Amino acid sequence: MVGELVPSPVDPVAAGEDFWRRYHEFRRVRQKETRPDEPVRNDADEEAHLKRISPFQAEKYFEVSRGRDMLGLLQMSFVEPAAPAYESNRHLCEADVFVRGADRRGGIASSFLPVIVELMDRRGCTTVGGWVEEDAGHGFMKWVGAESKLAEIESRLMFSEIDWPELERWVEEGARRSPDTRLEIIIGPVPEDEWEAFGSQLSVMLNTIPFEALDHGKIVVTAETMRDFYKRLEVNREVQHTVLTREPDGTMSGITDVTWAPHRPEFIEQRFTGVRPDARGRGLGKWIKAAMLLHLRELYPDTRWIATGNAGSNAPMLKINRALGFKPHRTGTAYQITRDRLAERLTEL
């Protein structure tokens, strides 16, 4: 039974119709407040997304509801022992808390704090992080005592404003500057027989991402984590597109990937873009980004915009994005707080 202003655990796999009715209404309220210009995933796909169990990441949910209405929701994420980067990430966890605007400042968000500490103790986590974009969230994080660790800029590129002839010049220039480098475009999953080598090389580039002051572990991509990733994309009905450059010895020197989904056909999510440190200075980043946009124009002519996120300190990638026409849309901040400091704050309260 859901108690008023008392967090109650929820298991999406076993949840009944009453929970899903509350949850779907709640997530639409959240979407309207935080991302009103983005479409909402349909109920069946959202339920499949929450019910999916990954061997590498555990999710825990707690709700605060009154009657037929969900007022607040906590989602906790933990790395599982089966994850290849478990040892360097086991002390970390993530918490996402949202409370309806009309029900804020009534103690709902703070009621989740003891739950967070308890779950951290069960898992042996010493640091919890959270992502914030709204003013209310920033205020809550500062009130709790969490510290800002990483600032990110989400930028958007309107397809109607793209200088397509300029992108074609970028592609020509990239091929001319690296005549022995091969450009490849992959629609959907990377061929399975390449997963091990692909994951190893991708890991090298992912670990060059600027994390600023964020406490973080290693990123390790293996054949098994790729299998799990593709299963998640399948459940979410997302299609991945990858553009990469390959050197004469077969190694990847640059990569960029995006996802398209039927519930958001008018915009595309830009994921990772990276160039191996020893291959920088040759215009590979411009080459693969331009090639990707030209590829997407052919497949999805009705696209309105593409979104990408970059750390505020990632000057080289921001420079390329600005040259492409990406414009700042919103900012977000990653906060972290230690388990002991959070427990101290609970004592003070």
Could you list the residue range(s) of the whole structural domain that residue 75 is in? Answer: 8-125
66 and 184 together in one domain: no
118 and 234 together in one domain: no
246 and 204 together in one domain: yes
76 and 116 together in one domain: yes
Cα of 264 vs its chain's centroid, Å: 16
Per-residue pLDDT of the chain (349 residues; tens, 9 = 90+): 344 579 999 999 999 999 999 999 999 999 999 999 999 999 999 999 999 999 999 999 999 999 899 999 999 999 999 999 999 999 999 999 999 998 998 899 999 999 999 999 999 999 999 999 999 999 999 999 999 999 999 999 999 999 999 999 999 999 999 999 999 999 999 999 999 999 999 999 999 999 999 999 999 999 999 999 999 999 999 999 999 999 999 999 999 999 999 999 999 999 999 999 999 999 999 999 999 999 999 999 999 999 999 998 888 889 999 999 999 999 999 999 999 999 999 998 8
Closest CA to 320 of 170, 99, 97, 126: 170
For residue 79, give the 3-state DSSP assignment.
strand
How much helix, strand and coil, in percent to the nearest 5, is found in the chain? Answer: 40, 30, 30
pLDDT at residue 105, as a whole number: 87
At 284, the amino acid letter reads L
CB 22 within 8 A of CB 68: yes
273 and 182 together in one domain: yes
Long-range contacts of 254-259 (CB under 8 A, 24+ apart): 254/279, 254/284, 254/285, 254/287, 254/288, 255/202, 255/205, 255/288, 256/288, 256/289, 256/292, 258/292, 258/296, 258/306, 259/233
Classify residue 200: in a domain, yes or no: yes
Closest CA to 234 of 82, 11, 49, 51: 49
Closest CA to 35 of 43, 45, 46, 27: 27
Tokens at 4, concatenated? 């008023």
pLDDT at residue 2, as a whole number: 42
Structural domain total, the chain: 2
- In sequence order, the β-bridge partners of residue 10 are 61
pLDDT at residue 4, as a whole number: 57
186 and 279 together in one domain: yes
244 and 105 together in one domain: no
81 and 160 together in one domain: no
78 and 189 together in one domain: no
pLDDT at residue 5, as a whole number: 79
pLDDT at residue 312, as a whole number: 85
What pTM does this model have? 0.93
113 and 213 together in one domain: no
User: Strands across the sheet with 239-246, in order?
Assistant: 8-10, 57-66, 69-79, 92-99, 127-132, 327-338, 147-158, 305-311, 267-275, 252-260, 239-246, 182-187
118 and 232 together in one domain: no
Residue 167's CATH number: 3.40.630.30
